[in-house]
Each structure stands twice: as C-alpha cells, then as structure tokens.
Structure 1
Amino acid sequence: MACCEPELDRQAPPAYRRALIAVLVINLLMFGVEALVGLFSGSRALRADALDFLGDAATYGLTLWALGQSLVWRTRAARIKGYSLLVLGLLVLGDSLVSLFHGVTPPGGMISAIGALALTANVTSLLLLVRYRDGDANIRSVWLCTRNDVIANLAVIGAGLLVLATGSRWPDPLVALGIAALFTHSAVAILRQANDEARAGRAPSVGCRGGD
C-alpha cells in the first residue's frame, strides 16, 4: 500500500500535529488538577492517574518531536516512552503497596468527581486522535496511552463510588494497582512494536489503518 511506503513515513498531517498539541495541553492541565487533589485527599488512585496524565504529556511531546525524524530516531523515541512507562508503573506500584498498609480512607465522592472530569478530558483526547490510531510504534504509543486512560478513569470513578458506598479504603489502592498494570501493559506493547520495526527496518506512516 502506498501509505505504508518508507519514503512517506516522515509526512505527518498538520491536523495530527494540532491534535497532539491539544491533547498535550489537556493532559498537563489534568495532571495538575489530579496531583493536587490526590495529594490533599490521600487518594492513591488519583495520584496514579495524575502520573498517567504526566506520562501521557511526555509521550505527546516526544511524539511531536519525533515526527519528521528518521525511523531510527522514531524507534528510539518509542523505546524511551516504553521504558518511561515501566518506571511510572513501578512508582505507582510502590505507592499503592505502601497504601495497602498505611493508607487512609479518601473521600469517595471527590474521587469519582475528579475521575469523571479526567474521563471527559481523555474522551476528548481520544476523539481527537482516533483518526491516527494506526502507524509506527511512536504513533501507536499515543493511541495506546489515551485508550488505556479512559479505562483507568472508569476504574477511578468506580473506586470512588465503592469507597463512598462501603466506607472502605481498599478500592482506592486496588485501582491504583490496576493502573500500574496498565502502565506495564502499554510499555510492553510499545517496546515490542519498536523492536519489531527496528528489525524490519521500516514502519507504517500516519493514517495506515489496521487492526488494534
């Protein structure tokens, strides 16, 4: 197919760049909101989701830089993202495990409300990026992160509702552990595709459509 020829790899539609800039701003704003609320409320789920937004913002920024670069540099950028997600996953895992033994019961209503705000932000990002969900590992990482964010937000909302209904703190760290698992899953998928593309010596361009 012409859209997958190596010489077209560097051509990214201007609309894709604009979409990346928009979701970058959205993610930085939501990182600030969730980090502050998570810190003051003691919610591990919100803190984990805040790190998710920060990781995504870094992913979008790195993707913007990598557009127009050679396959070698795009593959390197994808690997940086993959390893960064693994590090974030370990940070969330450690914070969640500490909370299992020394945590407090966070306000369930606040968790769900902020989770709903985060869900709105991520669904907006998802709609902006859905046209560009297929491509090389660098582009694919953007879609994977945003898609998984929606799943994480739904889990955060559920955790808040369970805390509110039961008065138990356990749903909050358990959801944080689930978010850590999402970090790891995305990191492995990105690194695997980056390694495959490095061996093959080529990658599909933005706009190639394929299976998820």
Structure 2
Amino acid sequence: MSGCCEEKSFDGVSPAYKRALIAVIAINGVMFFVEMTAGLMSGSQALKADALDFAGDTATYALSLFVIGASLQTRARASLVKGASLAIIAIAVLTMTGLRVLEGAPPEAGTMGAIGFLALLANLTSVFILLRWRDGDSNVRSVWLCSRNDAIGNVGVIAAGGLVAATGAAWPDLVVAALLASLFLKSAAAITIQAIGELKSEQAQQTPASETSL
C-alpha cells in the first residue's frame, strides 16, 4: 500500500472521468430512493442497508468530484471523510438489524429479489463505467471500491430473497444486512489506511523542503 502511495497515481483530473462520475452519481441517487422505498414497504433490512449505501455513495461521489484537481492533502482528507461515512453507515445497518431481530417477521421475498436484481443492474452499469479508473489515489480508488461493494451486496440481497422465500424465515435477510455492514467496515478501513499513507507521504515531502529553507 505504501509503495503505491509513493508512485504517481491517477488523481481524477480527466474530463472523461468527471463525466463518468456524474453519470454514476445520478444512478446512485435514483437507486437510493427506489431501494429505500422498497425496503420500507417490504420490511427488508438488506434492502434498507443497500439503500443507505446508495445514499452514502451519492454523497461521497459528489465529494470526489468536488475535490478533483485539489492538492493531494485535500483529496486524502476527503477520503478520510468517506471512510468515516462508510463506518457510520455500517453502524446504522447493524443497529437496525439488531432491532429487527427482536421482531422476527420475514420480509417480502418477491420484492427483495426484484429490487435486488434492479439494483444489481444499476451497480454493474456503474462498475462498467468506472472500470478503466479502478486504480488511482485514495479519492479515485474509494469510488471504485464503493461501486464494487454495491454490486457484491446486490448479489447477497437477491440470494437472501431466495432463501426467505424458501424458508419463510427472516434470518437470511438479517445475515445479508450484517455481511453488508462488515463489507462497509472493511472498505472504510482500506480507504482510511490509504488516505493516511498519502497524508504522511505529502508531509514527508514537505518536511525536507522546509528544513532546507531553514
């Protein structure tokens, strides 16, 4: 990881990348409303968890777009905000899942499967759009990681819907919601570690210059 930070990483300064990011922001914004509505109507924690991830992605992608062209320090600090937001979403999902355990009522499996598949198509589209920019600094990489996580999460939601239909139980939905939360935490850690590495690298480059001037 530290070796990557020492090299010149793609920082997002590209008209094509900006257009791609705007398209992905629009996709995520629409899917947040679609999936959250479906989650509330069906009682699915997995759909709600994935919807919160869409909301978080919409906000963090907008932040990524805003800091393109800024200094490495500014971009790294923006990535720290993204890492923190993912961790907060994970905690919210775990809290909602824990409360849902007490109720025990199974969600609507059909809605879970249908909306999960729609969300998967949306996220695969985002992943395809961003594929050529999957490597880069922490700001660019965080966008790729979030999109990848969404696609993985959608597969889990679809699988949970099938298991809920087969068993008539709520536990598949709750398990997938918890797994999504753990994936959010893992990505939050990866983004935060890279961002801290970039901040240290920037600081190390500035220190010799300041010492020389003295």
8 Å Cα contact 1:10-1:70 kept in structure 2:
no
8 Å Cα contact 2:11-2:136 kept in structure 1:
no
8 Å Cα contact 1:78-1:141 kept in structure 2:
yes
**2:128 alignment partner AA:** L
With structure 2 as the length reference, what TM-score do the two structures score? 0.89
More helix by share: 2
Alignment of 1:11-90 (within 5 A): 12-90=13-91
Query: Is the partner of 1:135 in helix, strand or coil?
Result: coil
Per mean C-alpha deviation after superposition, the further-off stretch among 34-43 and 100-109 is 100-109
Deviation at 1:40, TM superposition (A): 1.4
The aligned length equals 197
Deviations 1:65-101 (A, max 9, x none): 0101111110110000001111111000100111112
Deviations 1:35-92 (A, max 9, x none): 1110111110000000010011111101000101111110110000001111111000
8 Å Cα contact 1:75-1:137 kept in structure 2:
yes
8 Å Cα contact 2:49-2:180 kept in structure 1:
yes
| Partner Cα distance (2:22, 2:85) in 1 | 20
Alignment of 1:36-185 (within 5 A): 36-185=37-186
Deviations 1:179-198 (A, max 9, x none): 11111011000000001111
| Partner Cα distance (2:12, 2:140) in 1 | 12
1:191 aligns with 2:204: no
8 Å Cα contact 1:82-1:190 kept in structure 2:
yes
8 Å Cα contact 1:93-1:180 kept in structure 2:
yes
**2:114 alignment partner AA:** A
8 Å Cα contact 1:75-1:138 kept in structure 2:
yes
**1:96 alignment partner AA:** T
Deviations 1:131-184 (A, max 9, x none): 001111111100000111111000000000000111111101111001111110
**2:154 alignment partner AA:** N
Deviation at 1:110, TM superposition (A): 1.0
8 Å Cα contact 1:75-1:194 kept in structure 2:
yes
Deviation at 1:5, TM superposition (A): 4.1
Deviation at 1:107, TM superposition (A): 1.0
Query: Is the partner of 1:201 in helix, strand or coil?
Result: helix
Can you give the 5+ residue segments of structure 2 that lack an aligned partner in the other structure? 1-6, 204-214
| Partner Cα distance (1:11, 1:93) in 2 | 33
| Partner Cα distance (1:5, 1:80) in 2 | 22
With structure 1 as the length reference, what TM-score do the two structures score? 0.90
Output the aligned Cα RMSD. Answer: 1.4
Post-superposition, which runs of at least 4 consecutive aligned residues in structure 1 deviate over 2 A?
none
**Percentage of pairs with the same residue:** 52
